[in-house]
Each structure stands twice: as C-alpha cells, then as structure tokens.
Structure 1
Amino acid sequence: MNSDVPKILRKIPGLGERKVDKELARAKLQEANGFYQAGTNAQGQERKELLRKAAASYIEAGKNWSSSSLEQDAHYMAAESYFFAEDYPKAEDYYVKLIKEYPRTRYQDRVDQRRMEIGNYWLQFPDKFYNVNWTDKTRPWNDTQNHGKRVLEKMLLDSPTGRLADDATMDIANTEFKRENWTEALDRYRDLISVYTDSPHQFDSHFLGAKSALLAYQGPQYSSEPLEQADKLLKQMVRQFQKQSSERKEPIAEMLAEVQYRQAERLYEEATYRNNKQEYAAAIVYCDRILDNYPDTPYAQKAQEIIDNAEGKPSVPTPYMHWMTYVFPTRDKVTPLLKPTEEEAAERQSLITRNRPKSPSNPLDPTTGDSQVRTAGSVEPVKR
C-alpha cells in the first residue's frame, strides 16, 4: 500500500493500492546504499547530488514494501541522505514521517538529535514571515525562526521524555527570551523547572525565569503575578542551589531588591489612592504593611508621612450633603418626618380595608353559610 496517499484515498483503484514487491524493494535499497556510500565519499556539489539520488531510491524502496522494517529503514536513511545533502526541510519531513508511522522506532534518539540540530540551526535566522527564501535549500521558504521553534515543539510532543527534551525546552525558552517575549519565556522556564527536575538547566531556568518575570511586570496598575513568580523563583533558587547562587550573588541580590521595591510600590499606590479618597483607616492599613514588610525601601518614609497626616482625621469620609439622607424616606422602620393628618389616616385605612381580601370560609364549619356539614336542625324529617 502506498503510504504517501491519505488513508481515505487508499481504496481508490490505481491510487491507493500498491502491490508489494519485496525483490524490487530490496534492489532499490541496495541501489540507494550504493548512492549513499558514494555520496559520503564525494565532495561539493557532487556529494549533494549523489545523496539526493540515494534519498529518492530509499523512498522508492519503502513504497514497494510498506509496513515493514525495510520501509522503516528506508524512511530513516532517506531523511539522513537529505540531512547530509543539506536539504533540511525535506529531511525534517521524513523524520516526522518516520516517527508518525513508526512511533516506537529504534531510531528515536538519533532522530531527536537530528531534529534538534535542524531546529537550532533555523533559530539563528530571525527573518520575518514576508521574507521569502527562493535559493537556500537549507532553510524553509519563509519564517525560518518560527519553523525552527515548531521543529523543537514537535520533537517535544513526539518524545516528551527523551534525552534531549529538556535541552529543546531550554532552547525554546532562550529564543523567546532573546525575542523579548517575556511571558512566553517565563512559561517555558517554568515548564522545564516542573517537568525536568533532574535537568542540568535547573539553575539557569530559575535565574532566567526570575529575570523574565521581572521584565514581564508592567507596573502597579497591572497584575502582580509576575512579581510573585519572580519572588518564588528567586527564593527557591537560593535555597536549592546555594553554590551557584553564591557565584551570582550580586545579580540575585539586585533582583530580590527589585522585587521588594516593586511590591512596596504597589502597596504605596493603593495607600495613596485610599488617602486621596479620605479613607484614612484603609490607607493606614496599607502603610503599616509597607513599614512591616519593606522598611528598607524608599516608600517606608512616604508611608510614615501618610500615617502622620491622617492623625486625628475620621476613618471614613463624611458624604457630601449627608443631611439629605434624612429628608427622603427609606424602607427602614424609622419615625417619619411629618405625622399624617386625620383625613390622610382615614383615607389610608379605607384603602387598606377596601383592598383586604375576604377570608375563605371553612367548609367543615357548620356555622358558615357555605358549610357542607349537615346538622340535626338542617335535616328535614323523613316522611313515612
């Protein structure tokens, strides 16, 4: 069966069905091996041409004996031929095809290594998506860097527990860091920290993750989550990696100081907001938190000034024209401002009486007119 054709079209005569020819497949494989051996010994353009011929023969060999170990070997060797011919897009296609059709292939580690090299090579070209590549066969036709990122992401999906999974995650995170996508970089560093706990990149992911979090923070008017993440990563890094932390003592101390400064700034902004609204009790609460938790920041002195200025002032502001609240009636049971006159009281009582519903009669009560109970006085004597 022709594996190049989608499964939905394989039942069409002449398109999907393909006769298995083992002898032809072996012959094509032997021919491809000859081209491959000659290509590895050649140089320059001749080398590339021979390797491309080898790749075409490997592909033909796999088509003549589908769903076999020969096809698996042919896919791998076709990808290798394109790789050494520096035709990386086609090599990536056949590496993906090999992993897709043979998920438990014995070439998994080698394929991961090749895809890692291709992805890292493409990550070096930060060209725009509208820059079209017409001549360089080592790169895709556009958006090279994002193609490299997608290669590494596919590799992580195909082999999430492989030997190079943490390296691929770190490369993606570093690329996003260089592109100043701080939030995306922080997410990648956190993935590496939580998933690959025994990775040698743990310290660097903590350090760069904290740096990304601080750069992702947009100010006191926005979310405090990046600050919290930076504080968590820094404290965790100092606790777990004491030796490496001592070697980078100064930058770590600067980041810790920046975290404290930003957190104090957020509290001071809230205290200033409450103070401007004359909510002095709430402002003092935020100022006390600054004095207790961040006494070494410049905002500690400013917080003390707010507390001193609020001395003797009411806890909550007095509403403007508050006396108007006593003029308009409310639903609360309070004494009305003016007592109703006798005429108004009589009219109100008449309305209440007029609208009062009639109490329903009890059909079991013999004293009511609607009673259905027959008493001795109401029963007529029977005439005999």
Structure 2
Amino acid sequence: MTHLHQRFQSFSHSSAATLMMRTINMGVLVFVLSVLMVGCQTFGGKKDTFESLTRGDVSDLPTPDPVVQASFVDSARKSTDKVVNFVTMKEQENVDKAKKLYQQGDAIFRDAQSQQGLTAKDTFYKASKTFRRAAEAAPGTALQQDAMFMESESLFFSDRLTDASESYGKLQKQFPRNRHNDLITARLFNISRYWIDTEKATEGKWKLPNLTDYSLPMIDSDGHAIRLLDQIRYDDPTGKLADDATMAAAAEEIRQKEFDKADAFLTDLRETYTDSDHLFLAHLLGIRCKLEIYAGPKYSGLILEEAEKLVQQTRKRFPDKMQEQKYADIVARAAAEISFHTAERLAYRAEFREKKKEYGAARYYYNKLLAHHQDTPHAETARVRLAEIEKLPDVPTQRLSWLTTVFPDSTSSSPLEPKFDDNNKPATESEGPTLLR
C-alpha cells in the first residue's frame, strides 16, 4: 500500500507540473497567435503582400497608415495584457465586472464593520481580495484608484500592516495626487509609530524573525518605520504630517545612536519647515547631534563650526525660550562643550607645529586659544608653552642650505611651512596632514 501511495503522489506531482507547463506554453502560443492575427488584419492578409515579403521586394508594399499602426499597437498591447493576466492569474480587464466586484467588496467591508475580533479581521481580509480584483479589472481608471484605496484600508483594518503599507505605497506611486492622500499619510504615520513603539517595548530582548504576526515586518521593524516616515516626506512634502514625520524619524535615529542620520533629518526640518512646531526642538537636538558626531581633534572641525553657528541661531531666533532657565542652561552647556573641543583642537595643532619646530605657527595657535577660549583647561597649557617657545625661531633652520643654491627647488616653500605676515601670523594656514583638516 505504501508503494502504491508513493506512486500516486509522484503521479500527482508530475501531473501538476505537466499541467503548469502546458498552461505556460498555451499562454505563449496565444500571445504569438494574437500578434499574428493582428498583423494579418493590419496588412490585409493579401497573398501578394506575403509573396513580396518572401521575395525581399518591398517596392510593392503599401505605405502603412498611422491610424492602422496605432490600432495594431493597441491590439497587440491588449493581447499581451490578456496573456500576462492569464499566466499571472490576475483579473482580465473588464470595467463592468470591476464595478460589480467593487460593489461586492464594499458589501463585505460593511459586514466586517459590524463584526468583532478575529471574525472581523478575516472578513476585512476577504474584502481586500475582492477590491484587488476590482482594481486589476479597471486599470487606469478612477475606479482602480478607489479600489486600490479600499484594498489598503481593508488590509489596515485586518491588522496586516506590512501588506497595508505596501499597498498604500503602491497607490501613492501610481496616483501621486489621489484624493485619499491625507488619509493615506495618516495611516502610514500610525503604522510607523506602532512599529516604533513595539520595538521600544522589546528593546534589549532577543528577537527571532517574525513569522506569525502579520502586523509587524519580518525583521527590523524600526528600520521599516523610518522608511515609512521618509516615504511620507517624499510623497507629500507639503502635507500636514510632513514635519511630524521628519521629527519622528530623527528621534528614532537618535534612539538608535545614528546621530549623522538624525542630523540630516533635523537639518531638513530646520531648512524646509520653518513654521513647524518642532523647530525649537530641532535646534536643540541638532546641536546635540553635531557634538555627538564630532570625532576628536585629529579629524575635521567643520562640525564644531556648524554646532557653534546653530547655538548662535538658537539664541537669536528663540529669545522667549532662552528666558526659561532650563533651555538657557542646555544651550550654555552646549556652548561650553563646543568651546572646550575647539580649544583642544587649537592645542593639538600647536603641539603638532612644535614637534616640527615651526614655532611661529605654534605661537599663532596658542595665542588664538588664549584670545577666544581663556575659560578652558587648555588655556593654562597654552600660557606655559608660549613662555617656553617665545624666543625660538619661527621656522626650523634649514640644514645643508648650500644644496638649495646648487639645486634650486621649483617651489619656494613646502606646503607644511606657513608664510608669516608683519604681525607674525600665518598668511595661509597650513593644517598639516589630512587628519588635521
């Protein structure tokens, strides 16, 4: 009996495979025949035309009519669509049938609204399938737009949030200015917030890939949430929730310690949404992000300059907020931290020049440190070092200088040797190796 059962299963699988191959071959055959039939109708199916083609003589062929050519292309497209829909098991184009399917989906959707629990979710999911068939049967029409929206809504209420977000996104891409845009944005925002809140609740816990919960992505829920928020900004940049989505994305990036990405979102919010309610918070968080991005005195100091400008902008643009002690203290601490890092950079550059015996440049950096950052711990070090190198030459004595006369160099000085003006200040600051820039 076992042997017969195995033979029967093998026969069933082979029959299914054979049936599938026959279906695909039939679809290809239908496509080829449809093109040939349309072609024969276009050229009139005349025998002399066929003979002219086989002889290679095209002088007797009639000039193609543009209307006939357009008709041929349209007929070929429709035939191709039929074959593709048949092979992919999609609904064939039929507007009348699409209307009936939409009405059926609407009736199922209304029934689901009167139900509760799992029964309601199953019914909503059933409605989504019917709406999808209606959208497939009426491509390029207003009915397709409404059917796609109702399909997305049905998936949303059935708690299949991943499928719903993809369906909403597909609708936004295919119909960028659809009349459901505001509600779609709100749905996507709610989905992203749910994913972020779920990720926060399970933070620090070991998580396996999600294979059972349709309301969450398989992996990386917070990453999917940020992409949804970014999609809201892209699809509807002037919408009511665009600035909220930008701030939510920045906050989530900060929580994940991705400060460079958060800074990009916050910069966009400050520059694009100048009337946003989140504008002051975007300034405060922007200062914090820039200080977190700063990598130390060996690396670029541009981020410190940006942070200092942002501190000045915050104090200038929000004088009423600066009257509150807590905000004034936050900005003051940030300004002190920026000053400390800037003084550290100047001290590092001065020390670098000292090691190269370029004491003129070293004195310049120490004096600059004392002039602008006297309240930092590096100021005392600068005073001590200035006293020790005060009488040392600006540049090191060149050894074997007679070789320069015999073999003159094409350049007057090395890029690492700054030129000084009358005030003993480098005419052009050379910052040494690339790491110092």
Q: TM-score range by the shorter chain?
A: 0.7 to 0.9
Q: CA deviation at 1:99?
A: 1.3
Residue 201 of structure 1 is matched in structure 2 by 278
SS of the equivalent of 2:237 reads coil
Kindly provide the CA deviation profile for residues 22-76 of structure 1, in whole angstroms up to 9, marking residues without a partner as x.
Answer: 3322222222112111211211101101111111111122222222222111111
Q: Secondary structure at the match of 1:227?
A: helix
Say whether residues 1:232 and 2:309 are aligned partners. Answer: yes
Matched letter for residue 183 of structure 1: D
Q: Which stretch of the first structure deviates more once superposed, 126-135 or 38-47?
A: 126-135
The answer as to 2:157 corresponding to 1:80 is: no
Match of residue 272, structure 1, among 323, 348, 351: 351
Match for residue 179 of structure 2? Answer: 106
Superposed displacement of residue 314, structure 1: 2.1
Cross-structure match for 1:330: 406
**Residue aligning to 1:261:** 340
Check the 8 A contact 2:165/2:188 in 1, yes or no. Answer: yes
CA distance, structure 1, for counterparts of residue 161 and residue 236 of structure 2: 20
Task: Indicate the structure whose relative CO is greater, using CA pairs within 8 Å and at least 6 residues apart.
Answer: 2
The Cα RMSD (Å) is 2.4
SS for the counterpart of 2:159 is coil
Task: Work out whether 1:165 is the aligned partner of 2:242.
Answer: yes
2: CA distance between counterparts of 1:40 and 1:287?
74
Percent identity over the alignment is 32
- Of residues 283-292 and 122-131 in structure 1, the stretch that sits farther from structure 2 once superposed is 122-131
Q: CA deviation at 1:306?
A: 1.4
After TM superposition, give the deviation of residue 215 of structure 1 in Å.
0.9
Instruction: Choose between structure 1 and 2: higher helix proportion.
Output: 2
Q: Using a 3 Å threshold, how does the CA distance of structure 1 residues 198 and 327 change in structure 2: closer, same or farther? A: closer
* Distance in structure 2 (CA, Å) of the matches to 1:12 and 1:200: 49
Alignment match, 1:150 = 227
* Distance in 2 between residues matched to 1:274 and 1:10, nearest whole Å: 77
CA contact (8 A) 1:169 1:192 kept: yes
Residues 3-28 of structure 1 show CA distances to partners (whole Å, capped at 9, x for unaligned) of xxxx9998254224865433322222
2:195 maps to which of 122, 125, 129: 122
Tell me if 1:43 matches 2:116. Answer: yes
Partner of 2:419: none
Q: In structure 2, what is the Cα distance between the partners aligned to 1:162 and 1:8?
A: 37
Residue 367 of structure 2 corresponds to which residue in structure 1? 288
Q: Which runs of 5+ in 2 are unaligned?
A: 1-75, 409-437
Query: For the residues of structure 2 that align with 1:281 and 1:68, how far apart are their CA atoms?
Result: 76
Q: Distance in 2 between matches of 1:328 and 1:41?
A: 96
C-alpha spacing 1:129/1:146, structure 2 compared with 1 (3 Å): farther
| 1-structure distance, mates of 2:265, 2:299 | 22
| Structure 1 spans left out of the alignment, 5+ residues | 1-6, 333-384
Q: Indicate yes or no: 2:379 matched with 1:300.
A: yes
Q: State yes or no: 1:184 paired with 2:264.
A: no
- Report the equivalent of 1:219: 296
TM-score by length of 1: 0.78
The one-letter code of the counterpart of 2:406 is: T
Change (3 A) 1:43 1:12: closer
